[in-house]
Amino acid sequence: MMDLHGLPVAGIDEAGRGPWAGPVVVAAVILNPDRIPEGLNDSKLLTPDAGRTATRRSWPRLSVAIAIGHVRRIDRDNILQASLWGMRLAFRGLEVPQAAALIDGNMIPKRFPGKARAVVGGDGISLSVAAASIIAKVTRDRIMVKLAKRYRRYGWESNKGYGTPEHARAVQKHGVCTHHRRSFAPIQRAMRILAKRGEFEPTI
């Protein structure tokens, strides 16, 4: 896709701002304007199978880059700053050196290394942003499924770290682990309850 200045356009979107656990993942994608994939849509409207199909290697892209903001960064800088950091890093990682960016949302990161425009609801407006949304979500889902094999108590293979009733019950019963976002209010409340009960956090 091209912008008004004739530059290739990278769509940028993130997945995982809201969960209680796991990283935030940002994707930057430049689509091939001669081979736009069929069925691009907001990642939140896709089934898991459709998302996996959309991210196969045969999917026509000019360039894609992914940045992962881990829990330590989220707790240190806050989730917004971790997401903005990921947007800068993903954009820098693109193989196309001169590009502009359409960023889903209403904020452009400070010191962004290129021309950029924020687009509220961009994943439903721009095909490149929709592609970034899909890739970010599928990447993050795979990370959470992998973590769930080690941290079996929290149901991350299904809830992906979000604050579902299942996840909340598991945290209340078993405490938190190293992949929980301790800067998030629900996790802080759970830790205070554990402390009052005199229980230690599990070493799992």
Is 2 within 8 Å of 8 (Cβ atoms)?
A: yes
Instruction: Give the per-residue pLDDT at 59.
Output: 54
Instruction: Give the per-residue pLDDT at 123.
Output: 86
The identity of residue 34, as a single letter, is: D
Instruction: Give the per-residue pLDDT at 61.
Output: 64
Residue 157 labeled ligand binder: no
Q: Kindly list the domain boundaries of the chain, sorted by start residue.
A: 9-148, 152-196
DSSP states of 128-177? HHHHHHHHHHHHHHHHHHHHHTTSGGG-HHHHTT---HHHHHHHHHH---
pLDDT higher than 80, residue 199 = no
Task: With residue 122 as reference, give the H or E element that holds it.
Answer: none
Residue 166 labeled ligand binder: no
pLDDT higher than 70, residue 54 = no
Looking at the chain, the whole-number percentage of residues with pLDDT higher than 70 is: 81
The yes/no answer on whether domain 9-148 falls in CATH 1.10.10.10 is no
Residue 49 labeled ligand binder: no
60-95: burial string, b at 16+ Cβ within 10 Å, e else? ebbbbbbbbbebebbbeeebeebbbbbbbbbbeebe
- 151 token code pair: 């941290």
Residue indicated by tokens 């409340």? 189
